[in-house]
Amino acid sequence: MKQRSGFLFRAALGPAAVTAMIMSVIVCMVGIAYPDQQAITRDKKLVTLHDDGTWEYASAATPAEETYAQMSAEEFRATKPTTPILMRVWGKLDDYYNYEFGTADKVAWSIRVSDYKGSALGHGYLKKDTDAGKQVFNILRDGKEHKMVVEINCLPRAENGSVFVISSVKALDRWK
């Protein structure tokens, strides 16, 4: 086991700093460390524990937040992007077909989508006859919410930003 001592403090003491100190102490006591291990605290601070025993924290509005989505649910609905946007979401099979997808029930699965925080994003539609459509159905048919990494976009001239195409599925039941 490698003993660690002498921490370099890079921030004023606050809730996130205390969390980082606790993480550092646990690593020192147990003797296990993972390079650049990260955690988000309750006060939305991103804490990074470096392999050398140093740590730092930043607001969760830094690039770590952006890894969960290229834009917020609110921005997506407001801007109605027509190019695919990567999102980490919760998905659940649904029976809602409306607006541009009002008659799509024969060819597409309706999936109720929430962002990674659980805030409603809208309904995504995925073609049933594709490999991705079949895989997603096999996972979501249990009626529960599942983690998904998807690319979504609105149709050109979309009436509403809360209904969209799921253009690709990058991961099922996980966010990485």
Supply the range of the domain harboring residue 118: 68-172
How many CB atoms are closer than 10 A to CB 46?
19
CA gap 163, 122 in Å, rounded: 6
Domain identity same for 44 and 99 = no
Which of the given ranges, 3-12, 63-72, 136-145, has the highest pLDDT on average? Answer: 136-145
Mean pLDDT, the chain, whole residue set: 78
pLDDT at residue 175 in the model: 81
Q: How many domains does the chain divide into?
A: 2
- Which is more confidently placed, 6 or 39? 39
How remote is the C-alpha of 127 from its chain's centroid?
A: 22
Question: Hey, what amino acid is at 43?
Answer: D
For residues 148 and 94, state if they share a domain.
Answer: yes
Are both 107 and 82 inside the same structural domain? yes
Measure the CA–CA gap between 94 and 13, rounded to whole angstroms: 47
Q: Does the residue 9 lie in any domain?
A: no
pLDDT at 6 over 80: no
Q: Is the pLDDT of residue 72 over 60?
A: yes
H or E element in which residue 90 lies: strand 85-94
Residues 27 and 111 in one domain: no
For 29-39, the pLDDT digits (tens) are 433 444 455 55
Q: Is residue 7 part of a domain?
A: no
Same domain, 81 and 98: yes
Q: Are residues 102 and 163 in the same domain?
A: yes
The verdict on residue 1 lying in a domain is no
Residues 39 and 94 in one domain: no
Q: Which long-range contacts (CB under 8 A, 24 or more apart) does 59-63 make?
A: none
pLDDT at 49: 63
Pick from 43, 65, 87: which residue ends a domain? 65
Q: What is the pLDDT of residue 22?
A: 55
Q: What is the pTM of this model?
A: 0.63
List the one residue out of 95, 93, 77 whose CA is nearest residue 85.
77
